[in-house]
Amino acid sequence: MDEKKYTFENKEYRDTYRHTTSHILAQAVKRLFPDTKLAIGPAIDDGFYYDLDSETVFTPELLEQIEAEMRKICKEKLPIERFELPREAALALMREKNEPYKVELINDLPLDAHISFYTQGEFTDLCAGPHLDSTGRIKGNAIKLTACNAAYWRGDSNRQTLQRIYGVAFPKKEQLDEYLARS
């Protein structure tokens, strides 16, 4: 057994950790600003982001509120469960949740694609994964939302302008503090 399999030294684990944190970000935003529409939220080299369509402008003060809600979600230790749906059921679910970007993503998948979702508490998101098994695996005191910028949906300047919230997440607060001191 690889002793580094579940450490940040393993890129696959690090990306899974950060991708899970992006879903916690989206869940926190939906709790605080329920009319927000979700686009995408991947892990990136130095953290994660989530693209959002919201009437609310995410100021630094609001990012602090979102971070606080993220810490609450981590403390709730919500199980994260994967499930698949056939295309029509997946589309119906995302239409019911009023998530037009997710509907578009599903429509762009190949006809034989496995369409998977992840649920944590009241929050469900279209996602290929993978994710950790619980929001409790993420250390809430080692999360920092770092910026919010404009981003075009699918990188197309003729499409909707979204807000992209960036963040970083580490398994230990000391690692976050070190990262922030270097930045």
Residues 6+ apart with CB under 8 A from 174: none
Question: Stretch 2-14: mean pLDDT, rounded?
Answer: 81
Residue 2 confidence class, pLDDT cut points 50, 70, 90: low
Per-residue pLDDT reduced to its tens digit, 97-153: 999 999 999 999 999 888 999 999 999 999 999 999 999 999 999 999 999 999 999
Q: Work out the mean pLDDT of the chain and round it to a whole number.
A: 95
Q: Residue 84: which H helix or E strand, with range?
A: strand 80-85
Residue 1 confidence class, pLDDT cut points 50, 70, 90: very low
Task: Output the pTM of the full model.
Answer: 0.95
Helix-, strand-, coil-residue percentages of the chain, each rounded to 5: 40, 25, 30
Beta-carbon-side half-sphere exposure of residue 31 (alpha carbons within 13 Å): 20
Per-residue pLDDT reduced to its tens digit, 36-78: 999 999 999 889 999 999 999 999 999 999 999 999 999 999 9
Q: Is 180 exposed, middle or buried (0-12, 13-18, 19+ CB in 10 A)?
A: exposed
Residue 8 confidence class, pLDDT cut points 50, 70, 90: confident
